[in-house]
Structure 1
Amino acid sequence: MTRIIDHPILGKVEDREIISFQFDGRTYKAYENETIAAALLANGIRNLRVHEETGTPRGIYCNIGHCMECRVTVNDQANVRACLTVVEKNMVVESGKQHPNIVKRMVEQQ
């Protein structure tokens, strides 16, 4: 995957430090001041979580913090928006997992 290498506001990518972070147990590289979403896209990652009820894959949709589709777990904090959160050195990011639907199970048991 590619990145913008020379941006009029952000500057040149080569001037930024390369840092490591983990996503679902694997180590990836990112540039300092890059969002989690941008770093994952640059590393070929498209699926960030699954829908809570259906289990269908979800990824980056709006990339401006409105839709909540890019929610991941960061350093054990759930529901962090990857498009708004900057990658930090040695950050541990986990994809959003499908959780059991407790209300649905309660209704089925009645």
Structure 2
Amino acid sequence: MVATTYLDLASEVEIPDNSTISKTLYQDDQLKVVLFGFAAGQELSEHTAAVPAILQFLDGEATVKVGDEKFASQANTFVHMSANLPHSIAASKPTRMLLLLLKKTK
């Protein structure tokens, strides 16, 4: 058995001053894990993912829109989205977010 371990996820990305950064932490045939760092005022405009996805906010604050629902996220906010659901994220403070893309299996 192989394990991938990160003891401090937040330390894996340094939030840039005026942009967004992403770092793939893990990927296989079933799962892709990406850590995002958003500077205050940065956003991911509305888009969809072809597979189900989970957003886990580690710190910061952001406005999240999922389908027709809009809400404020903060540390420990969890969002599960079905495939092809329109969503967007706008950081109001420096924010770190973990994205898990749940790839379809055979």
Q: TM-score range by the shorter chain?
A: 0.3 to 0.5
TM-score (norm 2): 0.35
Structure with larger Rg = 1
Structure richer in helix, relative to its length = 1
TM-score (norm 1): 0.34
Bigger RCO (CA 8 Å, 6+ sep):
2
